[in-house]
């Protein structure tokens, strides 16, 4: 996590330009603003800023009046550039914003939502880096910024101190990802519940899913996903899931990808790793028992998958994110039961872009 001086919350500065899109502009304040510690204190301070603190015209029929000018960027721990309408950008505002971004505080991170990536690219902050933007603007972006390693097929890209997301709701995914990276899955899930949004969509998930709702009369893989989550500790395979769905492996794999944007094996591995992370955060169970409960088999397997996903060991993850007064499940208990009592609840992903597991 980007560190804030002791005694104050992590400071997030959201930049507004003429043409800012209200939905994306509001995401950081809503998501980061909902993050609280155990005593109910805010974990983030969200400030809005514009050039000279003047009101900016949104893409709709109203103005936004930020409370700060761009000097706020110098004290930010995280700077957010939300989506803007690219046609008719004010060149003076663009120059002021890109200059402010180049002179941000050392150690501060920068994130963009949707077409906000254009401003990061204009500032030279994406050269040689992986990034994403809205799929509808990807071709133009690639032509204008060939030095950027653009991936138009993912929801967001986390490149450490610079993060970019795809359009609209992908900004929610990226904010939750950062909250999870900073404060762990428990806080991120609480924020998601408060904001009534899904707690997790993997960064490497496809931006555009061809058939998220099955055609009338078509079978869905959703019941099989629920069935699999209730048996996450067992030897689930692609074949067993296809059998449960009463489909051939080929049909099941195709329909699964159409509905989720990922393959069955990638999805299953991700669920197992995320459930293991939840147990690391919320229990004192030994690592080998957590590996077994999550269906990963051995502690070595869990270590390998966790390191691939977020680059740390189970013990490091537990020290960083374990909540106080965690329950210690009895050896004979069933740690798979989530809050709903219907098997393990899906935790949340800290992965950077595409899942690395094989199909």
Which residue would you say has higher pLDDT here, 16 or 218?
16
Give mean pLDDT, residues 330-355: 36
pLDDT digits (tens, 9 = 90+) for 254-270: 999 888 878 999 999 98
The pLDDT mean for the chain works out to 85
Nearest to 17 by CA among 52, 46, 58: 58
In contact, 309 and 349? CB cutoff 8 Å? yes
Residue 327 pLDDT greater than 50, yes or no: no
Residue 241 pLDDT greater than 80, yes or no: yes
What's the pTM value of the predicted model, to 2 decimals?
0.69
CATH 3.40.50.880 domain position(s) in the chain = 10-195
Distances (CA, A) of 288 to 32, 280, 292, 346: 34, 11, 6, 20
Fold that domain 213-359 belongs to in CATH? Arc Repressor Mutant, subunit A (1.10.10)
What is the pLDDT at residue 211?
Answer: 40
pLDDT digits (tens, 9 = 90+) for 123-174: 999 999 999 999 999 999 999 999 999 998 889 999 999 999 998 899 999 9
CATH 1.10.10.60 domain position(s) in the chain = 213-359
pLDDT digits (tens, 9 = 90+) for 80-127: 999 999 998 999 999 999 999 999 999 999 999 999 999 999 999 999
pLDDT digits (tens, 9 = 90+) for 194-229: 999 877 676 666 665 444 444 445 578 999 999 999
Residue 294, CA atoms < 13 Å, CB-side half-sphere: 31
Instruction: Say which CATH class 10-195 falls into.
Output: alpha beta
């Amino acid at each position: 996590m980007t560190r804030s001086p002791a005694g104050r919350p992590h400071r997030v500065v959201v930049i507004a330009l003429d043409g800012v899109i209200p939905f994306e502009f509001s995401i950081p304040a809503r998501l980061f603003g909902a993050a609280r510690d155990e005593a109910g204190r805010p974990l983030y301070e969200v400030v809005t800023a514009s050039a000279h603190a003047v009101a900016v015209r949104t893409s709709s029929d109203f103005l936004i009046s930020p409370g700060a000018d761009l000097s706020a960027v110098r004290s930010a721990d995280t700077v957010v550039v939300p989506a803007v309408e690219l046609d008719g950008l004010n060149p003076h505002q663009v120059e002021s914003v890109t200059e402010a971004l180049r002179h941000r505080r050392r150690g501060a991170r920068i994130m963009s939502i949707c077409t906000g990536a254009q401003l990061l690219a204009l500032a030279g902050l994406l050269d040689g880096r992986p990034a994403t933007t809205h799929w509808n603007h990807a071709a133009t972006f690639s032509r204008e910024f060939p030095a950027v390693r653009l991936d138009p097929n993912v929801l967001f890209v986390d490149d450490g101190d610079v993060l970019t997301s795809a359009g609209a709701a992908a900004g929610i995914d990226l904010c939750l990802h950062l909250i999870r990276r900073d404060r762990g899955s428990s806080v991120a899930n609480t924020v998601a519940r408060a904001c009534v949004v899904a707690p997790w969509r993997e960064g490497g998930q496809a931006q555009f899913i061809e058939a998220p709702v099955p055609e009338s009369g078509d079978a869905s893989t959703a019941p099989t996903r629920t069935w699999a989550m209730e048996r996450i500790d067992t030897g689930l395979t692609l074949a067993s899931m296809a059998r449960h769905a009463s489909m051939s492996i080929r049909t099941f794999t195709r329909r699964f990808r159409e509905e989720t944007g990922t393959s069955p094996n990638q999805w299953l591995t991700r669920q197992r790793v995320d459930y293991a992370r939840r147990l690391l955060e919320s229990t004192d169970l030994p690592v080998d028992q957590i590996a077994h409960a999550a269906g990963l088999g051995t502690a070595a397997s869990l270590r390998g998958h966790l390191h691939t996903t977020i680059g740390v060991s189970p013990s490091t993850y537990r020290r960083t994110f374990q909540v106080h007064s965690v329950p210690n499940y009895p050896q004979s208990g069933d740690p798979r039961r989530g809050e709903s009592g219907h098997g393990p609840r899906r935790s949340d992903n800290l992965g950077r872009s595409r899942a690395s597991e094989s199909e």
